[in-house]
Chain A
Amino acid sequence: MSGMRAMRVREALTGYLFILPTLVGFLVFALGPMLFSAYLSLHEWEIFSPPKFVGLDNFKFLPEDTRFTAGFVNTLKFVIAVVALNTTLALGAAVGLQTKMPVVLRNFFRTSYFLPVVMSMTSVAIILSFLFHKEFGIVNYYLGLVGIEKVPWLASSSYALSSVVLATVWKTFGFDMILFSAALNNVPRHFYEAAEIDGASAWQRFWRITVPQISPSLFFATVIGIISHFQVFDAAYLMTRGGPGDATRTLVMTIYEDAFGSLRLGYGSAMAMILFVIVMVLTILQFKWGQKLVHYQ
């Protein structure tokens, strides 16, 4: 019996030892900073002197700060546009990949759709900024061939955000496509065969079988997409630096600018808290309604 107990103790000790590095990392670089961020959001702090308690002043100022409100609204618009386009494009591509075709062709399509996912947003933003250049960019050149006037993609506040959306969709739709492809592979073939015998059109099969069958994935991809695109920074920062004016300033960019540009770390933390609450609510939503997707093999 004592041998059994010794084994149990050894197992538990090994367990603690094995999770120790991860736990320390979690406490020092996630939980600790999270709590400190909450603390800072109630303070004024310029890093060189001790934080000064200001209560909810930081949060009260947020609605009056036009940079913040512009950033927030831009981020919302950005998220809606990117998620809608990504879902449509990715679902189309994933369904397309299911049609009968030679393996080589299928691999070619999948690889090319997936290619931008592994690229850095830095490279993508630089390349697409060149292509979107008003005078010399090839996008405007080809639009010109079909009679469309030169579009000031990056230089005008009415187009800049759309350009950042397009660049982001270009880079990220392949990610959603992978999720949808995996889900589509799990839809039982005989559903489609049965529907076909009953004379259902491709359109009907798509809406009556495909969409309901993969709805957990659609939901999951949408929530994950909202969460990750809410944190947009690289694309907007590298393509337009938030401009022209505030046209492409995003929530994270205002955090960055206030905290590291003007060293208002307390105020930046207050914005970070807003971001945290949004992400948390979305995550809980996903866990509550998206349970179906969590399957342990």
Chain B
Amino acid sequence: MATSQTYSRINRFSAQRAVGRMVIYAIMVVIALLVILPLVWTFATSLRVPRDSFTLPPRWIPTDWKWSNYADVFDSVPFGTYVFNSLKVTSLIVIGQVVTCSMAAYAFARLRFPFKNALFLLLMSSLMIPVFVTIIPVFALVRAIGLVDNHASLVLPSVTSAFGVFLLRQFFMTIPTELDEAAVIDGAPPWEVFVRVIVPLGAPGIAVLAILSFNGFWNEYFRPLIFLNSFDNFTIPLGLVALRGFMGTGNIAIVAAGIMMATVPVMVVLMTMQRYLIEGIAMTGLKG
């Protein structure tokens, strides 16, 4: 009697659980669709005859396969130049941050020097200064040294990052100190320990910083909007907005083609490295 009751309870439980699981799956599928469908729509629209881009009901499968929309993007705006500008600005920033942040992070994680902790805290205090708070003086500075409409106005202020120092210091502190002590006993000066021990072993952390930073600056809109004004200096985000401006709502297919070109290659690369991105976010709770 008691056992049959227990059995029926277990059965009820597993039935409930199966239903519960179905509900969870259903919700997850719905959320996934809400994320993916706008992207599918963009892709399908990018291949449509422009005048049909707004036809309803929406068609989710590309019907016309009009790849010439992609070529039209280049006729409407200097898209190749935008890609080049974005690559240039972003890679200079990423290289700068990787170099300066890993050096500083090593110093803060390992070396002993007076005022180390005070300097570290001071540096970390800038984590709470939003870019929008300093943008006015930085703009005045950029203007004073004649860098308005120059890519250096975007690169120079971002060549180092307090966030990057914080992130890499966390990573470097996980490297066992025995390894650098062994190098020190061999007579290696600190910079050699950095190059031979910390950089190779801290490489995954450096990769996390590089990817977070690439993602952040590749997508940046606000500073380019303020610092750049000639068309040929635009980065991709500004270029997309310009493209939309030219097309109005009449020629969405070409705007969609521009978005696809701007988004897909980078998205594929970033998604293959999503482990690093996720690790960086989970570790610090911040994005580049």
Contact = CB atoms under 8 A, between A and B. Distances in A.
Interface string A142-153: 000000000000
A33 B134 contact: yes
Nearest to B144: A47
Contacts of B287: 117, 175
Given A26-B123, A178-B282, A259-B136, A19 B28 contact: no
Contacts of B20: 202
Contacts of B25: 96, 99, 101
Contact of B240 (A21, A36, A126, A131): A126
Interface string A5-34: 000101111111011011101101111111
A283 B285 contact: no
B221 A120 contact: yes
Interface stretch (A53-61, A107-115, A187-195): A107-115
Interface stretch (A62-70, A76-84, A156-164, A231-239): A231-239
A117 B123 CA distance: 27
A297 B173 contact: yes
Contacts of A19: 103-104, 107-108, 119
B15 interface: no
A225 to B, nearest CB: 10
Interface residues of A, number: 92
A289 interface: no
B252 to A, nearest CB: 6
If over half of A's interface residues share one DSSP class (helix, strand or loop), that class is named, otherwise mixed; here it is helix
Interface stretch (B31-39, B62-70, B71-79): B31-39
Contacts of A109: 28, 32
A120 B132 CA distance: 18
Given A12-B113, A112-B36, A224-B285, A276 B133 contact: yes
Nearest to B160: A25
A211 interface: no
13 contacts: A22-B100, A34-B129, A109-B32, A115-B36, A116-B35, A122-B241, A123-B259, A130-B252, A252-B132, A268-B136, A269-B136, A276-B130, A279-B129
A255 B225 CA distance: 14
A73 interface: no
Contacts of A114: 271, 274, 277-278
Contact of B35 (A112, A231, A238): A112
Contact of B104 (A22, A265, A279): A22
A130 B44 CA distance: 14
Interface of A: 8, 10-16, 18-19, 21-23, 25-26, 28-34, 36-37, 40, 47, 89, 92-93, 95-97, 99-101, 108-109, 111-123, 126-128, 130-131, 133, 136, 138, 141, 170, 175, 178-179, 181-182, 202, 220-221, 224, 227, 231, 233-234, 238, 252, 255-256, 259-260, 265, 268-269, 272-273, 275-276, 279-280, 283, 293, 296-297
Interface residues of B, number: 97
Given A21-B104, A26-B123, A265-B136, A16 B113 contact: yes
Contacts of A221: 285
B191 interface: yes
Interface of B: 17, 20-21, 24-25, 27-28, 31-32, 34-36, 38-39, 41-42, 45, 54, 56-58, 99-101, 103-104, 106-108, 111-114, 116, 119, 122-123, 126-141, 143, 156-157, 159-160, 162, 165, 170, 173-174, 189-191, 194, 215, 218-219, 221-222, 226, 236-237, 240-241, 244, 249, 252, 255-256, 259, 262-263, 266-267, 270-271, 274, 277-278, 281-282, 285-287
A22 B101 contact: yes
Of A26, A36, A109, the most chain B CB neighbours within 10 A belong to: A26
A232 to B, nearest CB: 10
Contacts of A29: 134, 138, 156-157
Of B100, B159, B249, the most chain A CB neighbours within 10 A belong to: B100
Contacts of B256: 127, 130
Nearest to A131: B38
Contacts of B236: 120
A136 B162 CA distance: 45
B281 A178 contact: yes
A172 B265 CA distance: 20
B205 to A, nearest CB: 11
B188 to A, nearest CB: 11
B35 A275 contact: no
Contacts of A21: 99-100, 103-104, 159-160
Contacts of A100: 21
The 4 closest A-B pairs by CB, nearest first: A120-B219, A33-B137, A182-B282, A15-B113
A193 B281 CA distance: 29
